[in-house]
Amino acid sequence: MNNNAKDKIDIRSLGLEALQEHFIRMGEKSFRAKQIYEWLWKKSCFSFNEMSNISKELRTKLDENFVINNVKINSSQVSADKTIKNSFILHDTHLIEGVLIPTPGRMTACVSSQVGCSLTCKFCATGYMERKRNLNPDEIYDQVVLIDKQARENYGIPLSNIVYMGMGEPLLNYANMMKSVERITAEDGLNMSPKRITVSTAGIAKMIKKLGDDQVKFNLALSLHAANDEKRNTIMPINEQNSLKALAEALKYYYAKTKNPVTYEYIIFDGVNDGIQDAMELAKFCKHLPCKVNIIEYNPIAFASYINAGEDKVEAFAAYLQKQGINVHLRRSRGKDIDAACGQLAIKEKAKVSEV
């Protein structure tokens, strides 16, 4: 008997074939593995005891040999605009955050891919945290499951979209991010369309090319914020190793392989990147491949001195891009009053360990 949780195998770290091999070694029929796999991924079951078409004897055997390291909600806050920010607790007591964003016509889950972040984007609260570790595929998947449940229970509407825009850089957790998307989109998983998923990156050129090689079906967003190397180096130090030229080449390669247009995310900071010259540089960068630009409201954080550009400058900036034939959307922040908006995610509380 294997009663020590540390010695048990994380069952969701196993693919179906590996699980079948384990079952054969345990003296069980291999088809049982498929049943368990369906409980884990299609029915999002977090307890062996809930697997009702499995014998009690096998459930006991599963409990002795395996563990389900599921994510739990540590705490939730509801914004005046109905956005819900969650603090999630992981099996090793690390905390991450994920957000349910309800807007007319869609229910979006914003999920994290790492505990903290190794990048140091100056406008982002997560960038001031230390990166503790990557999230496993099931930990990303669980955020989606829990936020979907929240959407159904609070608003009577299931999730329609998922954005990998929470804590961490998804392309620095590439394999686990890709596996989570596979489980979320698979028929024997959550069966969501990849077209409903957007992965956002700060810009890792070689990994953008890898997305192209893997011919991904989900959407790609680049957190750009300046189309001028000197300015982008200051705002996003990652640009020093991934210049705009390198990113443009990687994006063209990605588009050639996938034919997926790219979204550029652009926060307009007052006096930093809000001039017509900045708009001209952005328009030039947009000519590389089919794209759209999301102009995002800046959400202040305690660590940084940036402020949002005035409404007139934002409108002039957007108008210039539109005149250049660029598809532009002005995005209003949601959940700002509970620090749930873009760039505001940072753990400010302790884990409620007793509830785990």
- Catalytic residue list: 97, 342
Nearest C-alpha neighbor of 189 from the set 20, 10, 68, 12: 12
339: CB partners within 8 A, 6+ apart: 85, 125, 345, 346, 348
Amino acid identity of residue 44, one-letter, is: S
Nearest to 223 by CA among 210, 242, 209: 242
Alpha-carbon dihedral 155, 156, 158, 162, rounded to 10 degrees: 0
Measured in residues, the chain has a length of 356
Phi and psi for 179 in degrees, rounded to 5?
Answer: -65, -35
Using DSSP's 3-state secondary structure scheme, residue 269 falls into: strand
For residue 259, give every residue at least 6 positions away whose Cβ sits within 8 Å of its Cβ, in sequence order, or none: none
Given a contact cutoff of 8 angstroms between Cβ atoms, the answer to whether 28 and 58 are in contact is yes
The CA R_g of the chain, rounded to the nearest whole Å, is 22
Q: Identify whether the C-beta of residue 226 lies closer than 8 Å to the C-beta of residue 242.
A: no
Phi, psi of 336, rounded to the nearest 5 degrees: -60, -35
| Diameter over CA atoms, the chain | 71
Pick from 312, 310, 323: which is nearest to 282 by CA? Answer: 323
Structure tokens at 167: 């804590």
d(CA 269, CA 166): 21
Residues 210 and 253 sit within 8 Å (Cβ to Cβ) = no
Contact status, residue 95 vs residue 34, Cβ threshold 8 Å: no
Taking Cα atoms as reference points, which of 26, 341, 239 lies closest to residue 36?
A: 26
